[in-house]
Structure 1
Amino acid sequence: MANKKIKAIRGMNDVLPSQTPVWQYLENSVKAVLGGYGYQEIRMPIVEQTHLFKRSIGEVTDIVEKEMYTFEDRNGDSLTLRPEGTASCVRACEEHSLLSNNQSQRLWYLGPMFRHERPQKGRYRQFFQIGVETFGMATPDIDAETILLTARLWQKLGIQDAVELQLNTIGSAQTRIDYKAALVEYLTPFADQLDEDSQRRLTTNPLRILDSKDQNTQTLLNDAPELHTYLDDESREHFAKLTRILDAAGIEYKINQRLVRGLDYYGKTVFEWVTDKLGSQGTVCAGGRYDGLVEQLGGKPTPAVGFAMGVERLILLLETLGVIPAQVNTTLDVYITALGGDTDQAALLLADNIRQQQPQVRVQTHCGGGSYKSQMKKAQNSSARFVILLEDDDIQAKRVRIKPLTEDGEQVELNNDEISSWLAAQLG
């Protein structure tokens, strides 16, 4: 019996060479925008102590209750593959004293997160997030900055017309305590009409009922008390200043009082960028303010605000809208054939000479031998713009023949010392 092939774990996907240029395009676009705002990169481990997430996310959240990948290591310690990045970032900042002496920080990170969810398009068990976290700034201008930079990114990617900003404030801790009591009082008589998750949340995490996807539950909420009537004055003023800044910047938004986010550490500002182009998986970026989390994890009281965006979901949106620039998938400029004799050595040296003189030119040398026909076929399949034809006679004459890989491309003959400048002129 033949050995059975081993496949990737369900919901954990390979990113193939044909796909990575789009990933790199998105990642580089994000890095450029964040760099323009003065944000610095931080990199954290993908495995943390389990109680880090229980203390930060909340033990009665779906993530902790049902979705975390948790295991015991050989020392008997409970470890978890990180389901989100904020808690890890706070832990790293505290451990390395990045928040001491009232330091402010603007940080970002990129990497895989893990949740045991039902895999579907745009939602996976291993998924990549780009996260932004800011610390030490309590005023709404930093809330506005995080939203403005995401709007700048959407413009850079060409998706600004496909996303909508939904905005809310969930007030102070006391606001949420008072509102939870009112919401539970209102919903209790309708408990048997709620969806199964909402029935459970009624006694564990009632605010999460507000973003239930069940239509009947949403209908019941139409007459529920409104969160904003319970806001404290400070939260109300904070939110008003935030909206004034967004208005002045020309950022359109929709206030959604049922937007509460799924993690316990949020307070005051919460927001989501959503799209109607991806079916049910409509959130492409989400975040908010979490002033109490640093203290909750053992640090000093520190204001904080941040967000995370899903890489796979953004790529899906870029592909759906057809806004990925054509050059993103062009991985080569020049393909050099080696047609007989000692041309394999000459081809390698020629390629390195071009790279040395024109570092921006992407050159690939044919290796492995083969006929003219087979090498030209590989050149055509390489996506290169030009092919350099190198034969024994060309080596002796110190020349090459080069032609565009198009049907109407005309071949030209160049001396070796002309190649670099010619390519620079052709490739711009």
Structure 2
Amino acid sequence: MSKRAIAHMDLDSFFVSCERLIDSRLNNKPILIGGTSDRGVVASCSYEARKFGIHSAMPMKMARQLCPEAIVIKGNSATYTKYSKMVTDLIRESVPAYEKTSIDEFYLDFTGMDRFFGCLKYAGELRQRIMRETGLPLSFGLSENKTVSKVATGEAKPNNQLLIDYGHEKLFLAPLSVKKLPMVGLKTYQTLCNLGVRKIQTIQEIPIEVMENTFGKNGRVLWKKANGIDNSPVEQYNERKSISTERTFDKDTIDVNKLKSILTAMTENLALQLRRGNKLTSCITIKLRYSDFQTETLQRKIHYTSADHDLIPLALELFEKMYTRRVLIRLIGVRFSHLVSGSFQISLFEDSHKMADLYSAMDKIRDRFGDRAVVRASGMTAKTISRFSSFNNGDHSPHSIK
């Protein structure tokens, strides 16, 4: 049986790189992308800006203070979605299995290909092809598992590649900061620092039982990652992955206000489920079935988002375009498809930090008191909505709405 060969590919400073393709005058200059007002947040920044201590999710006002000469650009999600699709198409043509984990990040499974090609050589050639055909810089790490490859990509950046040989995973990780490990966020990092743990090697030397007592079940996972152990598979990416809901009425209706209210409630709740699953959608579909059983659908490709204020107006706009027969409606539905993993922060280029905080606060209230604890006034006609819990491949599975 062949040893696993997993590559992690990451487009370097993706948003910035896309903007530089459009305007070469931005090359080698400190760039900030995000909300252009002082209340906005940094969605991405160039390596030149990072030298000033700037990072993503930082308030734009603070970033400007750290680097007054930085060029601030309002993001263009449509542009980034287009280039992401170009890279995805090239990867799909070239590898037997891949997993798209965000708009600019991929895992590729080359297991078994070494008997025909050297995996490093093949991955390197694919990287060169992507850069040549898209103009985007790209880094990758290659090892026997996803964790080590992701960390290796970070060490390879910017615009480079790194191979971690079989048996060297633990040695490679040992001298690195614990912050480099996937799943170590700010809170976990602070806890580790309080324990005097700053290097991955220290976690390697701690008994797994101690890690489990300190961090619960996550402690065992963290210990395994620190020791270069990760058996998680590359989950084949499927563009048709979707989440959806629909309602069949007890009595057919022509009440447009009622239909719009229900559609608003469904879209709002589906967007909540996207955020819970750390997903973004790039395609919205509206479905109508008339009393004569004629069924129509209309969809639109959009920039990646999971924000209510992006999705609800689109759903209502599609409904307005579809509902031209003025015949009684027996069913209405909405579906989000072409899902990828990622934070909805990507859609907030022109929104303030307060908007991100508002979504976070509302979602926490819903988690504690129920999905309908906080709803938009325009969607209150749908008095109850079932809890959505799954992301489906192919056709949707209906969820009840009353």
Query: TM-score, normalization: structure 1?
Result: 0.26
Higher relative contact order (CA 8 A, sep 6+): 2
Query: TM-score, normalization: structure 2?
Result: 0.27
Larger radius of gyration: 1
